[in-house]
A and B are shown apart, each in its own frame.
Chain A
Amino acid sequence: MTDRATAVETRSLTRSYGTGRRGGSEVYALRGVDLSVGQGEVHGLLGPNGAGKTTLCRILSTILLPTSGTARIMGRDVVRDADAVKRCIGIVFGGDRGLYGRLTVGDNLRFWAALYGLRGTGLRRRCQALLERMGLAHRADDRVDTLSRGMKQRLHLARGLVADPPLLILDEPTVGMDPVAAQDFRVLVDGLRADGRTILLTTHDMAEAEAVCDRVSLVDHGRIIATRAPAGIGALISRYERIEARGVPAEVAAALPDIPGVVTVRAAAGERLRIETEDTSATRAVLRRLVAEDVTEVATSRPTLEEVYLHLIGERGMTVER
């Protein structure tokens, strides 16, 4: 198998939920998702609340059945070949639930290890190594109830890794982590990538997605609306070039919209002015004008992932049906 083989492949994956009310219509959580994640890839799923990210993760983890369409993990169907799929995935569902609070950290991890078929000294060694890797070794004998949220999150990660799976499915793995822990998490993901593992993760943290993902998919209303490498994602809205400047006199700012090709002029954080232009000639005209006015703190940049996200999802206004 080459390293370009697919780890996750979905075709027209659809999932609806009954509303529970008699006569109520179905809620579509996924509407024909086609997703393909290569082996060794770190793939991010981004999207607003209710977009269908968790539903997708659940189907890939075999705990939820699709309404229609197919999903394959390492070439195996998640419905027909669920047992084989279970053996090659580790799941980490975010939040502080999903652990046995009355048991110790070590007991939790060892139980999960046993459920994944580990035994005896192999089991003990693996659990010890994971606790150390997650920085939880000194808390191994403490009850899970006494852990902080971020520590529980790390225990979840240890659990997901316990069977040494080639694919990890992480649903909001950094929710509740402090910035230092979240930074540690990025380092950890890099380590996992170096192991050659495939990672599918959902997050609401754009900086995190930008930092760790090889590619991201933007999900909205149960559909994937774009899949790109974070670096190239600006291309999705690339007809806008962008200039940021500081200390622009008010009368100059007021005149900028009159330059042909300028799309928007907006105030941005830190007393900056953000100018979006339609093409490079407009950008040049704006730069010339700013320099002529003695504005020297000027930068041009590509749109960040966060901006693309807001542009495609946040500013969809009333045009998208529900």
Chain B
Amino acid sequence: MRLFVTAARFQLRHLAGSPAAVQVCVTAPLLTVVFLSISDYAGRTDLSPYAVVAPTLMSLWLLALHAAGELITEERDLGTLEGLIAAPARLGTVVMGRMCAVTAIGVVSFAESWLAAGLVFGRWLAFPHPLVVVACLLATVWAAAGTASILSPLFVLMPSARVIQNTLSYPFYLLGGVLVPVTFLPGWVQPVSRAVFLSWSADLLRDGLDPAPVTDAVARLAVILALGSAGCAIGLMLLRRVLNRVRRLGTLAQA
């Protein structure tokens, strides 16, 4: 756990002022403005929570994908990957600590989006269930990092990480009911959606901003955490395999 925290703190320092983090922090409130303009134009002020929830989750997932894509690639470019692998620390813990740190920056965009809705449109969203919102955000950070970690071993093998990163953003927003609720999607897609943590996160976060009581909050949080943990388990298993392969082939130092 200490190693996890150390790795996370290291990553935040390493990331400070990096383009990806800045980009996400700048775009999130703008997206809120776009969504609110559209829903206002349509006369659907009841959709305001969407305008805050969607940019937040989009930021979280984008950052998680970014972390998964850059982490190993960057270590390799810097020539630090060998040292990392030769150190006795568990690589999985270090990787997850750092992934979570990057993803957690996405929580900032929740605050930004909320502020943007209030400042620009005078729509100050209340927090009827603050505990649910906070717990859901934290669980989502873990789930996004865990799910994205499945991809990081692929990035070790494939040089064109950017392409995968970009292809995996919008399909996930759609499947995760981030932009449009899952129930609006074609019937056959819905079961698939349920396997994507974002769909659970989006629903729970919206419910957390809704005055109506939240049903089964704990169980739904557990689903988010479990999906994230499953992703993390698969991701770290793949990472171990890929690194062993690379140790055999001797391509560790190559970009």
Q: Are the CB atoms of B86 and A62 closer together than 8 Å?
A: yes
Closest 10 CB pairs of A and B: A97-B79, A115-B87, A115-B89, A98-B79, A86-B88, A114-B6, A61-B86, A111-B10, A87-B88, A65-B247
Residue among A15, A103, A114, A115 with the highest chain B CB neighbour number at 10 A? A115
Q: Are the CB atoms of B248 and A97 closer together than 8 Å?
A: no
A311 adjacent to chain B (CB < 8 Å): no
A83: chain B residues at CB < 8 Å are 88
B78 adjacent to chain A (CB < 8 Å): yes
B38 adjacent to chain A (CB < 8 Å): no
Which residues from 160 to 215 on chain B have a C-beta closer than 8 Å to any C-beta of chain A? none
Known: A107-B13, A115-B87, A116-B88. Is A98-B3 also a contact (CB below 8 A)? no
- 8 A-B residue contacts at CB 8 Å? A93-B79, A97-B79, A98-B78, A99-B78, A100-B80, A114-B3, A114-B7, A116-B87
- Kindly state the separation between the CA atoms of A98 and B75 in the bound complex, as whole angstroms: 8
A17: chain B residues at CB < 8 Å are 249-250
B85 adjacent to chain A (CB < 8 Å): yes
A5 adjacent to chain B (CB < 8 Å): no
B82: chain A residues at CB < 8 Å are 58, 61, 63, 91, 93, 98
Q: How many A-B residue pairs have CB under 8 A?
A: 77
Partner of A63, one of B6, B7, B13, B86: B86
Q: Are the CB atoms of B88 and A117 closer together than 8 Å?
A: yes
Nearest A residue to B75 by beta-carbon distance?
Answer: A100
B84 adjacent to chain A (CB < 8 Å): yes
A102 adjacent to chain B (CB < 8 Å): yes
A87: chain B residues at CB < 8 Å are 88
* Chain B residues in the interface with A (C-beta under 8 A): 2-3, 6-7, 10, 13-14, 78-80, 82-89, 94, 247-250, 252
* Chain A residues in the interface with B (C-beta under 8 A): 15, 17-18, 58, 61-65, 83, 86-87, 89, 91, 93, 95, 97-103, 107, 111-112, 114-117, 119, 159
- Kindly state the separation between the CA atoms of A99 and B77 in the bound complex, as whole angstroms: 10
B78: chain A residues at CB < 8 Å are 97-101
- Chain A min CB distance to B40 (Å): 42
Q: Are the CB atoms of B80 and A115 closer together than 8 Å?
A: no
- Kindly state the separation between the CA atoms of A100 and B89 in the bound complex, as whole angstroms: 18
Q: Are the CB atoms of A103 and B88 closer together than 8 Å?
A: no
Known: A65-B248, A107-B13. Is A99-B80 also a contact (CB below 8 A)? yes
- Chain B min CB distance to A54 (Å): 9
Nearest B residue to A91 by beta-carbon distance?
Answer: B86
Q: Are the CB atoms of A112 and B87 closer together than 8 Å?
A: yes
- Kindly state the separation between the CA atoms of A77 and B82 in the bound complex, as whole angstroms: 19
A95: chain B residues at CB < 8 Å are 79
B2: chain A residues at CB < 8 Å are 114, 119
A89: chain B residues at CB < 8 Å are 86
Residue among A99, A107, A111, A116 with the highest chain B CB neighbour number at 10 A? A111
Nearest A residue to B91 by beta-carbon distance?
Answer: A115
- Kindly state the separation between the CA atoms of A63 and B91 in the bound complex, as whole angstroms: 13
Q: Are the CB atoms of B85 and A103 closer together than 8 Å?
A: no
- Kindly state the separation between the CA atoms of A49 and B6 in the bound complex, as whole angstroms: 39
Q: Are the CB atoms of B89 and A114 closer together than 8 Å?
A: yes
A65: chain B residues at CB < 8 Å are 247-248
Q: Are the CB atoms of A107 and B10 closer together than 8 Å?
A: yes
Nearest B residue to A102 by beta-carbon distance?
Answer: B14
B250: chain A residues at CB < 8 Å are 15, 17, 58, 64
- Chain B min CB distance to A248 (Å): 52
Residue among B2, B6, B252 with the highest chain A CB neighbour number at 10 A? B6
Residue among B7, B78, B83, B84 with the highest chain A CB neighbour number at 10 A? B83
- Chain A min CB distance to B65 (Å): 21
- Chain B min CB distance to A19 (Å): 12
- Kindly state the separation between the CA atoms of A15 and B79 in the bound complex, as whole angstroms: 22
Nearest A residue to B252 by beta-carbon distance?
Answer: A63
B249: chain A residues at CB < 8 Å are 17-18
- Kindly state the separation between the CA atoms of A117 and B87 in the bound complex, as whole angstroms: 9
* Extra 16 A-B pairs, beta carbons < 8 Å, given A61-B82, A98-B82: A17-B250, A61-B86, A63-B82, A91-B82, A93-B79, A93-B82, A98-B78, A98-B79, A99-B78, A99-B80, A103-B10, A114-B10, A115-B3, A115-B89, A116-B89, A159-B83
- Kindly state the separation between the CA atoms of A89 and B85 in the bound complex, as whole angstroms: 13
- Kindly state the separation between the CA atoms of A91 and B88 in the bound complex, as whole angstroms: 12
B6: chain A residues at CB < 8 Å are 111, 114
